[in-house]
Amino acid sequence: MISIDTNVLLRYLLQDDKEYSPKANRIVAGKNKILVTDVVLAETLWTLKGRKYKLSKDDLLLVLDGLFKEPGISFEDGKTVWRALHSFRSTCAVKAGSKKKDADFSDVLILEKSKYDCDRKNEIFKGMYSFDLAAQQVKDIKKP
């Protein structure tokens, strides 16, 4: 197994660089299983949603679904990422100023990782706090 960083994953997903995208393709299509860490996944989705690429929530869901279908890709904690994907899919946009805003995938990933870690440590999860109004719409994310 090998791991890839955010830039390799982005070049693979976007196919936007004549030099690096083919290299990313060879890595992903190679004989080694590819580990996508939680940090790489969160950074990738944050970048895709950001100012340059401006992917919608629906587009991000397609990216996530596609990554889960890739036979050579493995996630750091696949079950937790899967739960985060399910939570992210069910979020609703809220009005933030003059625009509508969705919760970020990173918020629901943090939530699901927190639940998992509490369970692993035999602790009772009592919620996650966030100032983000969109994140507060997710069950177990609370306003401070």
Q: Which helix (H) or strand (E) holds 141?
A: strand 141-142
Least confident stretch, 18-27, 66-75, 96-105, 115-124: 96-105
pLDDT level of residue 42 (50, 70, 90 thresholds): very high
Q: Tens of pLDDT along 8-31?
A: 999 999 999 999 999 999 999 989
Q: Tens of pLDDT along 62-92?
A: 999 999 999 999 999 999 999 999 999 999 8
> Under a CB-based contact definition with an 8 Å cutoff, are residues 120 and 106 in contact?
no
Look at the pTM and tell me if it is higher than 0.85: yes
> Under a CB-based contact definition with an 8 Å cutoff, are residues 114 and 141 in contact?
no
CA distances from 31 to 11, 12, 70, 72, 125 (A): 19, 16, 13, 8, 40
> Under a CB-based contact definition with an 8 Å cutoff, are residues 60 and 48 in contact?
yes
